[in-house]
Amino acid sequence: MVTAGSDEFRYLNDIASKRGLPAPLMPVVRVHSPMIGGSVSALQWGTSSPRLVFLHGLGQNAHTFDTVALTLHEPLLSVDLPGHGWSSATPPTMVTLDDVARGLCEALAPLRQSPAVLVGMSLGGLCALALAQRTPSWWSHLVLLDCTPSITPDKARTVTDFLDGPTSFDSIDDMLIRTIAFNPTRSPESLARGVALNAREREDGRWVWHHQAHETRLRPQFNAEQLWHTLSDLPLPVSLLHGTRGDSAVGVRDIEHFCSRRPGDRVRAVEGAGHALQGEAPEAVAAYLDLVLRASTQDR
């Protein structure tokens, strides 16, 4: 049985202990910052200026990067995208990626000081590209997790089909059963944590995912070719990490296109992983980000 509760940090010590990691970088607190039409919620790890900022994928929330954050042991921000986690509902005016970037820019401005590494997974990667275009001086490096501008609903079909499934559930255990069936390679324990941190009970007793609790959904429109131009023109290093399993959203042509647009930048395969790299291979993601942080420090 999985339970949802108010103490959203209750799993951190257990994750650290079982993976042989140091105790969580404390404090880990939830912060809220104004955004056009509402507010953006984020997890702030540590009290120093964040060295990394994470943007999650569709239907996820800031906690999807918990194990990566514990492994890195660095000050960082993990953001709930609009309409996800504990951020406000997606404003009706938030239609395009640029709209999302504008809202994130407003919300993140008071939460960061020096250049940081921007990390985006799937939808979060698309948002990160638009945000980096608006605020290039904020970032020392952009890391895309299993995402290029060519990501389409068809490439992410398994994910969108899962998210567009039942609009509510009888119990949180029903949500876990469906999640385990969808993620047969992940440990039930880690999936139970994820479900508990991404579910809420409605007043009528039905259970929904956080992103289902609002009438408006974050499905921003974008032009892939224009976003490739954005990627080409970014005045900062960009890395692409991708899975090698069949459910990865990055194919051979995507990698070739990325390399042609960013010939001096790195592409790294995460062997045996699929689309959700931060959940399936958090140590590999953290190890690469540690290299990026070290390089960024040396370049200053």
Query: Which residues are part of the catalytic machinery?
Result: 122, 146, 275
The answer to whether the beta carbons of residues 223 and 126 sit under 8 Å apart is: no
Report the C-alpha gap between 218 and 274 in whole angstroms. 23
For β-strands 139-145 and 28-35, DSSP reports them as: unpaired
Residue 92, φ and ψ in degrees, nearest 5: -60, -25
- Measure the CA–CA gap between 210 and 225, rounded to whole angstroms: 31
**C-alpha to C-alpha distance for 228 and 129, rounded to whole angstroms:** 9
Residue for token pair 């001096």: 264
Burial of 6 (0-12, 13-18, 19+ CB in 10 A): exposed
Distance CA 182, CA 136 (A): 37
- What does the alpha-carbon distance between residue 232 and residue 42 come to, in Å, rounded to a whole number? 29
How many CA atoms, within 13 angstroms, populate the side-chain half-sphere of residue 190?
A: 20
Interatomic CA distance for residues 200 and 2, integer angstroms: 12
Task: Identify which of 109, 115, 143, 176 has the alpha carbon closest to the alpha carbon of residue 290.
Answer: 143
How far is C-alpha 251 from the chain's CA centre? 20
Query: Which tokens belong to 172?
Result: 């949180």
Euclidean distance between CA atoms 21 and 24, whole angstroms: 8
